[in-house]
Structure 1
Amino acid sequence: MRTLYFDCFSGISGDMVIGALIDAGADPVQMEEELKKLNMDEEYNLSWGKVVKNGITSTKFDVILTSKSDQTHEHCHSHEQEHSHGHSHSHEHEHSHGHSHSHSHSKEREHSHGHEHNHSHVPHSHHGSRTYKQIVEAINEANFNESVANMSLAIFKKIGEAEGHIHGIPLEKVHFHEVGAVDSIIDIIGAAILIDQLGIESVQSSAIPTGSGHIHIDHGIYPVPAPATLEILKGVPIASNDIRSELATPTGAAIAAVLAENFRSFPSMTVESIGYGAGTKTFENHPNVLRIIIGETQ
């Protein structure tokens, strides 16, 4: 059985998942074409390219918002504004243009042969806000194949139910901030497209480290893991980790929680391909990457 294993030793986020899938050999150009079915492509551009994280070559994926996304939807603040694996924050956009971060050093070198576009950037806090119902309608109207649609809908439902539970409102009334933002829609549906493209029959995962410390979100200063992330990870083994940073975002947690059939140590498998997806932050003592392993299991 063709199996994908998420090795989440440094956590998981939507952009890390896509970066790792591209790194393992998935076709991002085909994904970009498929995503046009959402009729949202005026709102974003995609970027991917190689970076070196603490000695490991990995793929960094970014969603870059265009000025259209600012005009099309009302302004709202994203809950993922300050997440460590945030989806292409405005101050991180230099990634997509081949410049290393100002806080990076020799451990992380940016190779500028990524797939790049030049459009005016919009601050992360100006993301379009969409309701759960609007997202479901957009997926249903896009005519993705059944596998892609089902994966995407299940992941959004998992996050929507978590948000609804925390805020005390029914799923239909959930008004997304971070998930309604264009980049998270792309991360979730893009991941589903690439997993389907690779012919994956089974998904397994390690336990999920969430990190520790505090983050700033719309509602104030919150502990890590953020409430939505913790709610999403109910029933999922969480790995202890003393890194004072948010390692698992709601999007990443939901992708693993929905798709993984079980959470375990590395399974017996014949390895076919390996991919490393880069997170945004650079940590001193370990590479901030998500590793995926694809191969045949019995």
Structure 2
Amino acid sequence: MKTLYLECNMGAAGDMLMGALLELIPDREKFLKKLNQAGLPHVKVSANPAVKCGITGTHVSVHVDGAEEESEEVSLQGSGLESQEVHEHHHGHTHAHGHHHHAGMKDITEQIDRLQTDEAVKEDVKNIYRIIAQAESQVHGRDITEIHFHEVGTADALADITGCVMLIHELKPEQVLVSPVTTGFGQVRCAHGVLPVPAPATARILMGVPCNAGRMEGELCTPTGAAILTYFASAYGRMREMKMEKIGYGMGKKDFPAANCVRAVLGEAPAV
């Protein structure tokens, strides 16, 4: 049956997943046009070739009000509960003006409802957001209605999630297999202080999923990446018997001694 296999040896973030899936479809430009016309507030998504350890893949950039997000770790780290000064520190005050309010689950749901895309896509995007909000609410001991995502982080994550969902709908795999997820290890700084890797929300989302720390220090799997993977996964494990037909590489921003990418393989495999 038509199978999508996602190899997460270097974890997963929304932009990496979108880059890998984008390489599997025949007309990337047409897709990006469709995504950019879907009505994502303040956002423009672009894709460029990127090289990691000699391999060429695609890096997807999300520009919010004309400025590129530094990295998802900054915008969603430990929670979308970002403090303004963390953002100013990372963005050189680019977003300091006009971005002081935070979006709650209700605002995000309304933004998703306004998107110019299929109802089935909107439903999936909302469900993935709920996975993140649920994890945040458990980590912070607050009700899900009280969870607030920093606006810039939200615009960025919403673009990543919407793009990935639209691509999966376009590819129409009958099953999605996901490798064990490498989380990274160490500590990461966020609005609340220094947290362990994987960040508490990411760890909560990955409960029940085969994971390993890997050999690279740093946050490799982000809450958005984890939520997209767990939402679509039919099963986890190393690649089974599979006839590979298309292969895509979605590149992360950072450079590590290992190729910082998600590899997506489309092909035929027996049902799991």
Shift of 1:174: 1.5
What is the aligned partner in structure 1 of residue 82 from structure 2?
Answer: none
What is the aligned partner in structure 1 of residue 60 from structure 2?
Answer: 61
AA partner of residue 172 (structure 1): T
What is the aligned partner in structure 2 of residue 78 from structure 1?
Answer: 75
Q: Does 1:22 align with 2:22?
A: yes
Distance between the aligned counterparts of 2:106 and 2:205, measured in 1? 19
Distance between the aligned counterparts of 1:30 and 1:67, measured in 2? 20
> Considering only aligned residues, what root-mean-square deviation do their CA atoms show, in Å?
2.9
Per-residue deviation, residues 215-247 of structure 1 (Å, max 9, x unmatched): 100000111010110011111111231311111
Residues 36, 43 of structure 2: 8 Å contact kept:
no
CA pair 152-294 structure 1, distance change in 2 beyond 3 A: same
AA partner of residue 201 (structure 2): A
Q: Does 1:13 align with 2:13?
A: yes
SS in structure 2 of the partner of residue 287 of structure 1 = coil
Per-residue deviation, residues 238-269 of structure 1 (Å, max 9, x unmatched): 12313111110010011111110111110222
Distance between the aligned counterparts of 2:23 and 2:165, measured in 1? 15
Shift of 1:46: 1.8
Residues 40, 155 of structure 2: 8 Å contact kept:
no
SS in structure 2 of the partner of residue 246 of structure 1 = coil
CA pair 252-39 structure 1, distance change in 2 beyond 3 A: closer
Task: Report the count of equivalent residues.
Answer: 254
AA partner of residue 197 (structure 1): E
Q: Does 1:164 align with 2:164?
A: no
Distance between the aligned counterparts of 2:51 and 2:100, measured in 1? 29
Which of residues 204, 212, 220 is equivalent to 2:177?
A: 204
Per-residue deviation, residues 275-295 of structure 1 (Å, max 9, x unmatched): 0000111112x1111101011
SS in structure 1 of the partner of residue 148 of structure 2 = coil
Residues 127, 181 of structure 1: 8 Å contact kept:
no
CA pair 250-39 structure 1, distance change in 2 beyond 3 A: closer
Tell me which moved more, 176-185 or 57-66.
176-185
Q: Does 1:293 align with 2:265?
A: yes
Distance between the aligned counterparts of 2:100 and 2:54, measured in 1? 34
Alignment of 1:212-291 (within 5 A): 212-284=185-257, 286-291=258-263
AA partner of residue 19 (structure 1): G
What is the aligned partner in structure 1 of residue 71 from structure 2?
Answer: none
CA pair 128-254 structure 1, distance change in 2 beyond 3 A: farther
Q: Runs (4+) of structure 1 moved beyond 4 Å? A: 89-93, 123-128
Q: Does 1:48 align with 2:20?
A: no
TM-score under structure 2 length normalisation: 0.84
Alignment of 1:131-150 (within 5 A): 131-142=104-115, 144-150=117-123
Residues 151, 259 of structure 1: 8 Å contact kept:
no
Distance between the aligned counterparts of 1:38 and 1:174, measured in 2? 24
CA pair 14-7 structure 1, distance change in 2 beyond 3 A: same
What is the aligned partner in structure 2 of residue 33 from structure 1?
Answer: 34
What is the aligned partner in structure 2 of residue 184 from structure 1?
Answer: 157
Alignment of 1:85-96 (within 5 A): none
What is the aligned partner in structure 1 of residue 84 from structure 2?
Answer: none
> % of aligned pairs identical?
37
Which structure 2 segments of 5+ residues have no match?
A: 69-73, 79-86
Shift of 1:171: 1.6
Shift of 1:168: 1.6
Distance between the aligned counterparts of 1:272 and 1:206, measured in 2? 18
Distance between the aligned counterparts of 2:60 and 2:264, measured in 1? 15
